[in-house]
């Protein structure tokens, strides 16, 4: 690649500190050939016959079939299932905690400590998070339908 093939922005005349007397004259670039002059003129194609007469009367005029299958977004399905799952696990832990309080006898096992200390902290957080997430997802679903229609 010669210096005349380069982008004109790299021409030494446009560089900082260029002095024609000190750096010498710059070789002129060859003239750019007119590309459009070499393109032959072609007549437009003949119009196509009206194809609407050949269309079956039973077919949909838009060309779409009634059997269009809409795929559901798997991430959106997960966003609906996850809050329900969080709410369900939280509710199960509350029931487990209440059952432990009611049926507690004098014996102790490793589950007593876990149920009595961890569950009262985790269960309400799971229930509230699941409920709020479900409300947000359902609100987004409702807003999305309103915008489409």
Q: pLDDT tier at 127 (50, 70, 90 boundaries)?
A: very high
**What pLDDT score does 123 carry?**
93
pLDDT at 84 over 60: yes
Which range has the worst mean pLDDT, 4-8, 36-40, 134-138?
Answer: 4-8
Q: pTM, whole model, 2 decimals?
A: 0.47
Averaged pLDDT, 83-109 = 84
Buried b (16+ CB within 10 A) or exposed e, 102-118: eeeeeeeeeeeeebeee
Domain ranges of the chain: 74-148
CA distance 126 to 75: 20
Task: Taking the CA atoms of 113, 115, 121 and 126 in sequence, report the sign of the dihedral they define.
Answer: positive
**What pLDDT score does 106 carry?**
62
**In the block, which residue shows the tokens 């009367």?**
57
């Amino acid at each position: 690649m010669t210096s005349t093939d380069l982008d004109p922005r790299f021409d030494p005349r446009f560089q900082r500190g260029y002095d024609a007397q000190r750096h010498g004259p710059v070789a002129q670039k060859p003239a750019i050939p007119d590309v459009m002059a070499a393109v032959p003129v072609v007549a437009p194609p003949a119009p196509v016959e009206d194809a609407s007469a050949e269309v079956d009367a039973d077919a949909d005029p838009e060309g779409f079939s009634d059997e269009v299958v809409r795929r559901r977004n798997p991430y959106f399905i997960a966003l609906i299932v996850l809050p329900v799952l969080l709410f369900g696990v939280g509710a199960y832990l509350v029931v487990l905690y209440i059952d432990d309080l009611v049926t507690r006898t004098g014996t102790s096992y490793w589950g007593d400590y876990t149920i009595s200390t961890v569950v009262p902290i985790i269960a309400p957080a799971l229930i509230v998070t699941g409920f709020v997430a479900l409300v947000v997802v359902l609100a987004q679903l409702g807003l999305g339908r309103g915008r489409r229609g």
